Amino acid sequence: MYKNPISEKEIIEFLQKNIEPLKNGDYGAGYRASMYLTDGTFLPCVMFQNSSRIINLAKKRFKDEIKGRGILGRDGYN
């Protein structure tokens, strides 16, 4: 186990200094890296990015579904 996990601020600073962001028009720039969790679990590919665009897109899609304009309201998807 790791006794001193790094802070969110330290993760962000490391990613910005050492990794080139991936451009994604729908979700904004993100950073891909591998990491170890505090229990020793290794994750070979983790995506770090601001979640606000994804949250806003999800909210829009929920509203569209409620109004019957989403993908679930179309023929063939029921």
Per-residue model confidence as pLDDT tens digits over 20-56: 888 877 777 888 888 888 888 999 998 888 888 888 8
Domain count along the chain: 1
> pLDDT at position 43, please?
95
Mean pLDDT confidence for 55-69: 88
Residue 2 lies in a domain: no
In a domain, 78, yes or no: no
Does residue 39 lie within any of the structural domains? Answer: yes
Q: Flag whether 32 is in a domain.
A: yes
State the SS3 of 30-69.
Answer: EEEEEEECCCCCEEEEEEEECCHHHHHHHHHHHHHHHCCC
Range of the domain at 50: 8-73
Q: Round the average pLDDT of the chain to a whole number and report it.
A: 81
| pLDDT, position 44 | 94
Instruction: Tell whether 12 is covered by a domain.
Output: yes
Name the pLDDT band for 73 (thresholds 50, 70, 90): low
Residue 3 lies in a domain: no
Is residue 1 included in any domain, yes or no? no
